[in-house]
Amino acid sequence: MPPNTDLHMPHEKGVILVVDDAPDTLALLCDTLDLHGYTVLVATDGESAIQRLAYVIPDAILLDGVMPGASGFETCRRIKAEPAWAHIPVIFMTGLAETENIVAGFDSGGVDYVVKPVREAEILARLTTHARNARISRMVRDAVDVAGTGSLIVDAQGRIAWVSPLAQGWLATLPRSHSDAALPDAIHHVLTKDDVLHVTGDDGRPLCIRNLGCAALGETMLLLSQTPEPQRNDRLADARLTPRETEVLSWLAKGKTNRDISEILSMSPRTVSKHLEHIFEKLGVETRSAAAALASGAVA
């Protein structure tokens, strides 16, 4: 059975996998999470949870510590042993409140622990924190491997949620209207007006700032580079790509898979595929490598 790519489509707050053999707990959590904007996946034991992960990578896992078959602690160890899943935050839910059980949960790779009966407000607060941190970590992983660029994430309140060391150094060269301003003027400009801005820092070096759009939970990712963007060849310029198609093509040229692009740009892999179909048609190419070559300034 092929993966259901619709489940990769970003939801307002993300995708949560709930693993519990108690129907009442599952019903309570599913209703609560759905009401607060999460997409909920369900598993009733450790083995079915592992099977879910083969198809969908959630933003967080709520995992019962005691279940038939493999315990939650054993299931968590299996999850953390798989590199593709190791980044997923696991929050344990169990009636075992003794210190040794709590320690066992953390030793197996859990990031948090709540005691049953679960309290809705507590679960929501913990999920908000851990899912947000996990999303930022994924975005950082995708961004920092782009050679020659610095990465910056700005939250919905206009505050810096994360900045790479390279970007931090460049930001220090940009002027601010007020000495106590949280962001340089150029960053405000890119966030509110332009997708791309070329400026010159106090050190006299040119800086390109690119807005990659909403990443998660109202946060925006920016890429900064001191290398001016190359002039696009006539074939690419005549293609009249939409801004979204241009973003998809840019990440394709950096070697990203459809899955990577979907996470970076907060869209489903199916939408990425549709954008690539239009890009290939407009560019008159048939392969990803040919499109990437055009985007990189090479002659296809």
**Is residue 146 domain-resident?**
no
Q: With bands split at pLDDT 50, 70 and 90, how would you rate the model's confidence at 1? A: very low
Provide mean pLDDT across the span 19-45: 90
**Is residue 193 domain-resident?**
yes
Would you say the C-alpha torsion 154, 156, 157, 162 has a positive or negative sign? Answer: negative
Same domain, residue pair 30 and 129:
yes
Residue 8's pLDDT is what?
Answer: 37
Spatial contact of 41 and 34, defined as CB atoms under 8 Å apart: no
Q: Which of 166, 198, 228 is the last residue of a domain?
A: 228
Residue 48's pLDDT is what?
Answer: 92
The residue assigned the tokens 């000495």 is 179
* pLDDT, greater one: 17 or 292: 17
Task: Give percent above pLDDT 70 in the chain.
Answer: 82
Q: Which of 119, 141, 163 is the last residue of a domain?
A: 141
Residue 274's pLDDT is what?
Answer: 92
**Is residue 150 domain-resident?**
no
Same domain, residue pair 29 and 131:
yes
Q: What is the maximal distance between C-alpha atoms in the chain?
A: 68
Residue 97's pLDDT is what?
Answer: 65
Would you say the C-alpha torsion 131, 209, 142, 268 has a positive or negative sign? Answer: positive
Same domain, residue pair 11 and 102:
yes
Spatial contact of 8 and 273, defined as CB atoms under 8 Å apart: no
Q: Which of 188, 209, 228 is the last residue of a domain?
A: 228
Same domain, residue pair 85 and 173:
no
Q: With bands split at pLDDT 50, 70 and 90, how would you rate the model's confidence at 273? A: very high
Residue 206's pLDDT is what?
Answer: 87
The tens digit of pLDDT for each residue in 70-113 reads 888 899 989 988 867 877 899 988 776 667 777 777 888 888 88
CA angle 38, 258, 88 (to 5 degrees): 40
Same domain, residue pair 261 and 171:
no
Domain at 266, CATH number: 1.10.10.10
pLDDT above 80 for 218: no
CB count within 10 Å of CB 129 equals 15
Mean pLDDT lowest for which of 6-15, 114-123, 205-214, 243-252? 6-15
Same domain, residue pair 129 and 10:
yes
Its domain, for residue 80, covers 5-141
Same domain, residue pair 104 and 26:
yes
Measured between alpha carbons, how far is 288 from 276 in angstroms, rounded to an integer? 8
Domain at 109, CATH number: 3.40.50.2300
Same domain, residue pair 251 and 297:
yes
Mean pLDDT lowest for which of 116-120, 155-159, 196-200, 268-272? 155-159
Closest by CA to 222, choosing from 234, 213, 230, 233, is 213
Residue 291's pLDDT is what?
Answer: 85
**Is residue 148 domain-resident?**
no
Mean pLDDT lowest for which of 35-39, 190-194, 206-210, 235-239? 235-239
Q: How far from each other are the two terminal CA atoms of the chain, in whole angstroms?
A: 37
Rg, Å, the chain Cα set: 22
Q: Across all residues in the chain, what is the average pLDDT?
A: 79
Measured between alpha carbons, how far is 223 from 247 in angstroms, rounded to an integer? 12
Same domain, residue pair 177 and 263:
no
Q: Is beta strand 90-94 parallel, antiparallel or unpaired with respect to 112-115?
A: parallel
Task: Give percent above pLDDT 90 in the chain.
Answer: 12
Measured between alpha carbons, how far is 182 from 247 in angstroms, rounded to an integer? 27
Residue 229's pLDDT is what?
Answer: 45
The residue assigned the tokens 């939250």 is 155
Show the tokens assigned to 103: 């320690």
Same domain, residue pair 132 and 181:
no
The tens digit of pLDDT for each residue in 34-69 reads 898 888 999 999 999 999 998 888 889 999 888 888
Same domain, residue pair 177 and 254:
no
pLDDT above 50 for 4: no
For 18, 64, 78, the CA distances from 67, given in Å and listed in that order, are 13, 7, 15
pLDDT above 80 for 11: no
Q: Is beta strand 219-225 parallel, antiparallel or unpaired with respect to 150-154?
A: antiparallel
**Is residue 92 domain-resident?**
yes
Number of domain units in the chain: 3
Same domain, residue pair 200 and 242:
no
